[in-house]
């Protein structure tokens, strides 16, 4: 059997549930929060998404690794086929590992990539049973044990954003519309989408005081963990929301805008992490398929009268976006820039640039 050639390890959940699997990644004990993703493709993008920082990721699609890992070609100083420079998950859990990969742009196997990034990974685990358990009990701390035991670790108690964002300001493009992007763990494809327009992107760290910067629109990025740990970002946003400049927030950025507006957030039982999550635009019959990756949500009942609902999740009715009633400020919980898809809501980047143009021509 294939498993006879691999070292065995144990996955232990905080509630005492255990699973035995076989290692095809880096062999070291590790802890984190266990979550699941139901997407069929896109594991290079998911594993490099900073929003997964500190999480042990379970992929529910039964066969993983069959198309390998693409090369590290760059575009505008960003890796072309990945969402950041590094793998951010703490570990990977799958059902069956494809030893042989085949794809025109693959340069290495998934296992070799994870070993080089020092990320543990197990296969041979019943991910259907594990996912059903997480859905029933909720996301929880977990750990993978090889030889020495280690304690459980809850990453949501830490400021994960500070671990994944840039340390110094960076500038992309030379367009006429200046967009100040607050990096809370931004995905590369967000920057690529914004650069499709006549823009210049000024990317700054999560806690950067941008009050002295000149810009035409403010963008708040995605990122990992509990949004309430980002106190400096929330405080800066409170000041920004008093102005009339356009603001667009995605995922964690959506939650941070809501907190700055006086609303509250809460932790979802097991989160939304998948492609093809259906959302509906409030007040219309327009439904869209979206890509999502978040464990927290905005409590829309706590929004004040200055705000209205923009999108709703059709599965559980959780909030998927808000917008200001009089100012050009809007947010989405989902990812309009999703790679590799769906791209139903990519038009929102164009809407943001249109709001910038209106503001400049007022």
DSSP state of 6: S
Angle at 333 between CA 220 and CA 119, to 5 degrees: 80
Q: Are 129 and 11 in contact (CB under 8 A)?
A: no
User: Does 86 qualify as catalytic in the annotation?
Assistant: no
Residue 81's nearest CA partner among 115, 112, 55, 46 is 46
Of 57, 62, 33, 35, the C-alpha closest to 45 is: 57
Cis peptide before 278 (omega within 30 of 0): no
Least Cα distance to 140 among 58, 215, 64, 230 occurs for 58
d(CA 21, CA 6): 9
In a 10 Å sphere around its CB, with 0-12 CB exposed, 13-18 middle and 19+ buried, how is residue 168 labelled? Answer: exposed
Half-sphere exposure of 37 (CA within 13 A, CB side): 28
Q: For residue 189, is it left (φ>0), alpha (ψ between -120 and 50) or beta?
A: alpha
Is 251 annotated in the active site?
A: yes
Instruction: State the catalytic residue, choosing from 251, 275, 300, 320.
Output: 251
Pick the catalytic residue from 45, 320, 337, 355: 337
The answer to whether the CB of 203 falls within 8 A of the CB of 191 is yes
Pairing of strands 177-183, 199-205: parallel
Dist CA 110 CA 23 (whole Å): 12
Residues composing the chain: 362
Active site (annotated) includes residue 213: no
Distance set, CA 82 to CA 2, 116, 121, 338, 352 (Å): 29, 15, 19, 12, 24
Answer for the pair 229, 201: CB distance below 8 angstroms, yes or no.
Answer: no
Check residue 141 and give left, alpha or beta (phi > 0: left; psi -120 to 50: alpha). beta
- Catalytic residue list: 251, 335, 337
């Amino acid at each position: 059997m294939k498993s006879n050639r691999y070292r065995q390890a144990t996955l232990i959940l905080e509630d005492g549930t255990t699973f035995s699997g076989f290692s095809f990644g880096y062999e070291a004990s590790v802890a984190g929060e266990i979550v699941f993703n139901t997407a069929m493709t896109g594991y290079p993008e998911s594993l490099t998404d900073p929003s997964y920082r500190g999480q042990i990721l379970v992929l529910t699609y039964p066969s993983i690794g069959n198309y390998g890992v693409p090369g590290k070609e760059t575009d505008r100083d960003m890796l072309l086929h990945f969402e950041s420079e590094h793998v951010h998950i703490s570990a990977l859990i799958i059902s069956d590992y494809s030893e042989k990969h085949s794809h025109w742009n693959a340069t290495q196997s998934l296992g070799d990539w994870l070993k080089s990034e020092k990320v543990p990974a197990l296969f041979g685990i019943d991910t259907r049973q594990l996912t059903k358990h997480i859905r029933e009990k909720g996301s929880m701390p977990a750990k993978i044990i090889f030889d020495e035991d280690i304690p459980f670790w809850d990453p949501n108690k830490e400021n994960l954003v500070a671990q994944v964002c840039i340390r110094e300001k960076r500038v992309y493009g030379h367009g006429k519309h200046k967009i100040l992007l607050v990096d809370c763990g931004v995905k590369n494809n967000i920057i690529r989408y914004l650069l499709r327009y006549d823009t210049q992107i000024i990317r700054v760290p999560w806690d950067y005081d941008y009050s002295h910067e000149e810009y035409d629109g403010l963008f708040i990025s995605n990122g990992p963990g509990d949004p309430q740990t980002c106190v400096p970002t929330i405080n800066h946003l409170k000041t920004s929301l008093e102005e009339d400049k356009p603001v667009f927030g995605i995922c964690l950025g959506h939650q941070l805008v809501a907190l700055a507006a006086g609303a509250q957030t809460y932790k979802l039982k097991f989160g939304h992490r998948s492609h093809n999550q259906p959302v509906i635009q409030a007040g219309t019959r327009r439904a869209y398929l979206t890509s999502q990756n978040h464990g927290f949500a905005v409590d829309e009942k706590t929004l004040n009268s200055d705000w209205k609902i923009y999108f709703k999740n059709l599965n559980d009715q959780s909030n998927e976006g808000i917008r200001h009633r009089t100012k050009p400020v809007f947010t989405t919980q989902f990812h309009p820039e999703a790679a590799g898809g769906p791209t139903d809501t990519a038009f929102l980047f164009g809407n943001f640039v249109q709001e910038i143009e209106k503001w400049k021509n007022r």
